[in-house]
Amino acid sequence: MARIIWKGAISFGLVHVPIVVHAATRPHRLDFDWIDRRDNAPVGYQRINKRTGKAIASEDIVKGYEYEKGEYVYMNDEDFKRANVAATQTVEIQGFVDAAEVPIYYYDTPYYLAPDRRGEKGYALLREVLRRAGKLGLARVVLHTRQYLCALLPQGDALMLITLRYADEMRSAQDLDLPGGKADAPAARERDMAMRLVDDMTVPWDPAAYRDDYREDLLKAIGKKVKAGKTHELSEPDAKRPRESAKVIDLMALLKQSVEERGAARKPPARQRPAAKKTSARKSAAPAKRKAA
C-alpha cells in the first residue's frame, strides 16, 4: 500500500473517527532528465543563494514569509501545525449534500482514508450511512500547509477523500465567444442523427479498457533510437504544412456516414451458404420384397 500521507480524525458532530490518509493515484509519467549535450552530464536543480551564487545545504533552508520588504518570518512544520492544531489534525465535516449536486469540474485529487487504531467502528458507520443516504460529506482539511474543501464519500469498502476546487478558482465562461441563437441552432434532422450516433456509441463505463497510448508510443520511439544507436540525435522539425482554409462542414453527411460506418463495423461477415449435397446418379435400390411364406 502507498505510504501514509497524513494522520488525524474525521469529525462530524461530536463523533471522531481516527484515520490515516493514503494516495489513491499512481502517476505513470515518464521522467526525463535535463542533459548537457556537450558532455552528456546531468543538469541538476541546485539550491543557489541568489545573493552569493553559492549552493546551500538543505539544513540551512527554511520557509519564510515576507512581512516587509526584505524582512521575513521563519516558519517550520511545527509552526504551521501550531497555527491551528485542530485544522491540521481533523477532517472536519461541515455538512452533507447529494452527491449529484457537486459539478464534476470541482473535483481535484483523490485520497484513500483508512481507519487508525480504535477507529474501525466509527469508520464503518460513516461509510454505511453515506452509502445508504446517497450523500457525500463536505469537509475541510489542511494538507501541505493549505486548507482544502473536500468531499468525503464511500468507494467500495473504503472511504475516499477528494479535494475540491474553491468557487473563486473556477473561471467564468461568460467572456467566451460561444455559439447561440437561431443561426447556430442545429436542425432537427441533424439533432436526431447525432442522437442516433450517441446511442450507438454508448458503452458501459470500464476504466480498464483505456490506456495511455501516447506514453507507450513514446517508449517505442525511445526504444527505436536506442536500437538504431541514435541516442544523441535530435529530430528535425517537420516542414510547416500550409494551413487549410476554413471549409463549410456538412454535418448531416458526416453524421450519417459515422452511423453507417459503425453499423458496418459491427455487422458480422456474411456466412457462405453450405454447398448443396450432390445427389447420387444412381437411386438407392428399392427395399427387397419379402419372400412369400
The DSSP H or E segment spanning 150 is strand 146-155
Domain that residue 154 falls in: 4-25+67-168
Q: How many domains in the chain?
A: 1
pLDDT on residue 242: 58
CA torsion angle 126 131 132 138 (round to 10): 70
**Sign of the alpha-carbon torsion through 142, 143, 148, 151:** negative
In a domain, 147, yes or no: yes
The DSSP H or E segment spanning 264 is helix 251-266
In a domain, 224, yes or no: no
In a domain, 284, yes or no: no
**How many angstroms separate the first and last alpha carbons of the chain?**
93
In a domain, 289, yes or no: no
pLDDT on residue 247: 54
d(CA 64, CA 47): 16
| Whole-number Cα distances in Å, 153 to 130, 134, 140, 231 | 7, 9, 14, 48
**Sign of the alpha-carbon torsion through 183, 185, 188, 189:** positive
| DSSP three-state, residue 43 | coil
d(CA 123, CA 191): 48
pLDDT on residue 275: 55
pLDDT on residue 215: 86
pLDDT on residue 273: 56
In a domain, 173, yes or no: no
In a domain, 11, yes or no: yes
Backbone dihedral angles phi then psi of residue 14, each to the nearest 5 degrees: -100, 5
d(CA 161, CA 108): 10
In a domain, 48, yes or no: no
pLDDT on residue 69: 84
pLDDT on residue 97: 95
Look at the block and give the residue holding cell 419372400. Answer: 291
Say if CB 128 and CB 17 are below 8 A apart: no
d(CA 30, CA 39): 23
Helix axes 188-201, 251-266, angle to 10 degrees: 30
In a domain, 184, yes or no: no
CATH of the domain at 163: 2.40.290.10
pLDDT tens track, the chain, 293 positions = 567 888 888 877 777 788 888 887 776 666 767 777 777 777 776 777 877 878 888 788 888 888 888 788 888 878 877 776 666 778 889 999 998 899 999 999 999 999 998 899 999 999 999 999 999 999 998 887 788 999 999 999 999 999 999 988 888 888 777 788 888 888 888 888 888 888 888 889 898 888 888 888 888 988 988 898 888 888 887 766 555 544 556 778 888 888 888 877 776 666 655 555 544 444 444 444 444 43
